[in-house]
Amino acid sequence: MSLQPEPTLRQVVTDASTRLGGVDARHEAELLLLHVLERPRSWLFAHATDPLPAAEQTAFEALLGRRLAGEPVAYLTGRRGFWTLDLEVDPATLIPRPETELLVELALERLPPDLALHLADLGTGSGAIALALASERPLAQVLATDASAAALAVAARNAARHELGNVRFAEGGHDWYAPLRCERFDLIASNPPYIASADPHLQQGDLRFEPATALASGVDGLDDIRRIVAGGGDHLQPGGWLLIEHGWDQGDAIRALFEQAGYSDVQTVQDLEQRDRVTLG
Ligand code: GLN
């Protein structure tokens, strides 16, 4: 019986990247390996020629198998970076996307840092938008809502980990504004579900593993956005802003909804891939 030498971390990552394939393969392999080793990313560079012990090889192989079967890396590691924050995520929360950072940027442009503003994030999931705003605007008070108690528990742990005491959480379901009671806000932001319920993409990639309630919204994907736009006027301060993330082909329809509801300064902003992504008014 010949004893195989333990492979180096670099060999393990290279082999796993080949098996995963795709543009992100190497990054994904590193994230999974570092999760097994409980090490930060920076550690790997100085330890690429270290051997990977057998127990960790087994644990890594199990995670790799799940990834090859489609599970999102963020659910396998339980972590996802968003804005400047390392966030806990789990299958009760949507995985924060880089596109949503555009919404955070647009919100911050409208939030003077020296004012004690009231902000809301409707459908906060892991807390990504609410916590990014709270970390950039320490004087602001942020209310984060979600229909899922399990998601709110994740968001609250993320707030605690990042010591963001200026975020409150409230559970609320199909009536998006019920958790806001009769409060008014200087800015309301939301990344609601906006995919058409029959869209085949829901059966593909990471979306298969994410909560359907965070993704799908009626025949045209606009059921929730219609409610959010219609109700915003009752919950915004004069001069306040509503910002909504949406799909690349929904900009025209959503601008029309904003305009019918009486918002001014309505515009749609494109993401880095030059696709309509956020409408505000
Ligand atoms: N941006 C996500 C996607 O299309 C959808 C997020 C959402 O519905 N809010 O992958």
Q: Average pLDDT of the chain?
A: 96
Contact call for residues 229 and 254 (beta carbons, < 8 A): yes
The response to whether residue 194 sits with its C-beta less than 6 Å from ligand 1 reads yes
Report the pLDDT value the prediction gives residue 174, as an integer from 0 to 100: 75
Report the pLDDT value the prediction gives residue 97, as an integer from 0 to 100: 97
193 marked ligand binding residue = yes
The response to whether residue 97 sits with its C-beta less than 6 Å from ligand 1 reads yes
Report the pLDDT value the prediction gives residue 170, as an integer from 0 to 100: 98
The CATH class that applies to domain 90-280 reads alpha beta
Query: Of 249, 278, 240, which Cα lies nearest the Cα of 102?
Result: 278
Which residues have C-beta within 8 Å of that of residue 107, sequence separation ≥ 6? 119, 129, 133, 187, 189, 241, 243
Distance between CA atoms of 9 and 266, rounded to whole angstroms?
51
Considering Cα of 173, then 264, then 120, then 83, what sign does the dihedral take? positive
Task: Give the side-chain half-sphere CA count within 13 A for 88.
Answer: 14
Q: Is the pLDDT of residue 173 over 90?
A: no
- 182 vs 61, more confident: 61
Look at the chain and count its residues: 281
Q: Is the pLDDT of residue 210 over 70?
A: yes
Distance 193 CA to ligand 1 centre (A): 7
123 marked ligand binding residue = yes
Structure tokens at 57: 């090889």
75 marked ligand binding residue = no
Q: Is the pLDDT of residue 2 over 80?
A: no
Per-residue pLDDT, averaged over 93-105, amounts to: 98
138 marked ligand binding residue = no
Distance 254 CA to ligand 1 centre (A): 16
The response to whether residue 93 sits with its C-beta less than 6 Å from ligand 1 reads no
Which residues have C-beta within 8 Å of that of residue 42, sequence separation ≥ 6? none
Query: Of 169, 150, 174, which Cα lies nearest the Cα of 91?
Result: 150
Report the pLDDT value the prediction gives residue 161, as an integer from 0 to 100: 98
263 marked ligand binding residue = no
Report the pLDDT value the prediction gives residue 66, as an integer from 0 to 100: 98
pTM assigned to the model: 0.95
Distance between CA atoms of 18 and 4, rounded to whole angstroms?
21
* Cross-strand partners of 145: 122, 170
Report the pLDDT value the prediction gives residue 5, as an integer from 0 to 100: 81
Pairing label, strands 185-190, 236-245: parallel
Per-residue pLDDT tens digits for 116-145:
999 999 999 999 999 999 999 999 999 999
Q: Is the pLDDT of residue 99 over 80?
A: yes
Per-residue pLDDT, averaged over 78-107, amounts to: 98
Distance 214 CA to ligand 1 centre (A): 8
The response to whether residue 128 sits with its C-beta less than 6 Å from ligand 1 reads no
Query: Of 22, 38, 29, 18, which Cα lies nearest the Cα of 61?
Result: 29
Query: What ligand 1 atom has the least distance to the C-alpha of 247?
Result: 4
Distance between CA atoms of 44 and 35, rounded to whole angstroms?
11
Report the pLDDT value the prediction gives residue 4, as an integer from 0 to 100: 72
pLDDT band at 3 (very low <50, low <70, confident <90, very high): low
Per-residue pLDDT, averaged over 17-30, amounts to: 96
Distance 1 CA to ligand 1 centre (A): 52
The response to whether residue 26 sits with its C-beta less than 6 Å from ligand 1 reads no
Query: What ligand 1 atom has the least distance to the C-alpha of 206?
Result: 10
pLDDT band at 91 (very low <50, low <70, confident <90, very high): very high
Contact call for residues 41 and 30 (beta carbons, < 8 A): yes
Q: Where are the domains of the chain?
A: 9-69, 90-280
Give whole-number Cα distances, 111 to 115, 133, 141, in Å. 8, 9, 12
Amino acid identity of residue 92, one-letter, is A
Query: What ligand 1 atom has the least distance to the C-alpha of 195?
Result: 8
Strands (E), the chain: 79-82, 85-88, 118-122, 141-146, 167-171, 185-190, 236-245, 267-270, 276-280
Query: What ligand 1 atom has the least distance to the C-alpha of 191?
Result: 9
- Probe target for ligand 1 pocket from 101, 210, 224, 245, with the most ligand atoms within 8 Å of CB: 245
Query: What ligand 1 atom has the least distance to the C-alpha of 123?
Result: 9
Q: Is the pLDDT of residue 1 over 60?
A: no
Distance between CA atoms of 35 and 264, rounded to whole angstroms?
47
124 marked ligand binding residue = yes
